[in-house]
């Protein structure tokens, strides 16, 4: 069962502003990455359902998060069908994310009161997602559909929209300031928040520091 209810989870994502997106088949490495992000101030994290046995990694990681990162909402990404959504919800996922709209996932997520953020690339898709009950909509791939200016423009006619952008988000002051000014609710950030050489060296403090800097830039 999810630790947080739907409203609390969305508020955590909104207040944090940056949602790391990560997958690795190594359970212990994943735990260290999540803890490094938590120590840097991150309170929402998306573990992507990629690779064979990803659900087994998630099951161990979420148990670790409940004990060591009690204020963190842990979600599952790359959810492409209802059975997979149910599996992750049964393991306690606080939210679900897809790169596209999967209506069968909307139904099972709504039934359980779990936030579901489907990937959208047009105003029509965003409005459709809202009609189906998706409060926080993911714009993906955000850089290809227009970046920060896309968000700013859609919030004109849709000022109530809550948008989380993934793609073309970088841990730099210029990039995150631009996203912050667009009015976006949150941004998802993947590999650029976790440089391969830093992961290989096990330099978890560097990841914590980069998370803290990124949060400051975004919120400024």
Q: What is the C-alpha to C-alpha distance for residues 146 and 51, in angstroms, rounded to an integer?
A: 30
Average pLDDT over residues 99-104: 97
Asked whether residue 135 carries a pLDDT value surpassing 90, the answer given is: yes
Number of residues written out for the chain: 220
6-213 has which fold?
TIM Barrel (3.20.20)
| Residue 83: alpha-carbon gap to chain centroid | 20
Q: Which of 219, 172, 157, 153 is nearest to 15 (CA)?
A: 219
SS3 165: strand
Q: What is the C-alpha to C-alpha distance for residues 108 and 83, in angstroms, rounded to an integer?
A: 9
CA angle, residues 146, 94, 20, in degrees to nearest 5: 45
pLDDT of the residue at 220:
84
Average pLDDT over residues 19-42: 98
SS3 150: helix
| Residue 191: alpha-carbon gap to chain centroid | 13
**Domain definitions of the chain by residue range:** 6-213
pLDDT of the residue at 10:
98
pTM > 0.85: yes or no: yes
Average pLDDT over residues 138-150: 95
Asked whether residue 121 carries a pLDDT value surpassing 90, the answer given is: yes
Average pLDDT over residues 127-147: 96
Strands 116-117 and 44-48, bridge-based pairing:
unpaired
pLDDT of the residue at 1:
84
The answer to whether residues 4 and 12 touch, using CB atoms and an 8 Å cutoff, is: yes
Q: What is the C-alpha to C-alpha distance for residues 124 and 55, in angstroms, rounded to an integer?
A: 32
């Amino acid at each position: 069962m999810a630790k947080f209810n739907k409203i609390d989870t969305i508020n955590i994502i909104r207040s944090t502003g940056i949602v790391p997106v990560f997958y690795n088949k190594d359970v212990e490495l994943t735990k260290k990455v999540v803890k490094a992000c938590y120590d840097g101030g991150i309170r929402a994290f998306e573990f992507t359902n990629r690779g064979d046995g990803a659900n087994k990694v998630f099951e161990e990681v979420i148990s670790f998060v409940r004990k060591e990162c009690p204020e963190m909402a842990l979600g599952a990404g790359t959810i492409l069908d209802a059975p997979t959504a149910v599996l992750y919800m049964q393991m306690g996922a606080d939210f679900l994310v897809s790169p596209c709209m999967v209506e069968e996932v909307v139904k099972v997520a709504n039934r359980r009161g779990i936030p579901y953020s489907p990937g959208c690339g047009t105003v029509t898709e965003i409005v459709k997602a809202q009609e189906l009950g998706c409060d926080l909509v993911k714009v993906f791939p955000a850089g290809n559909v227009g970046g920060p200016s896309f968000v700013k423009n859609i919030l004109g006619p849709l000022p109530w929209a809550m948008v989380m952008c993934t793609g073309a988000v970088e841990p730099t002051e210029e990039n995150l300031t631009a996203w912050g000014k667009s009015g976006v609710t949150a941004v998802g950030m993947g590999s650029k928040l976790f440089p391969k050489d830093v992961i290989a060296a096990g330099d978890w403090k560097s990841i914590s520091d980069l998370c803290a800097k990124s949060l400051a830039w975004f919120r400024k």
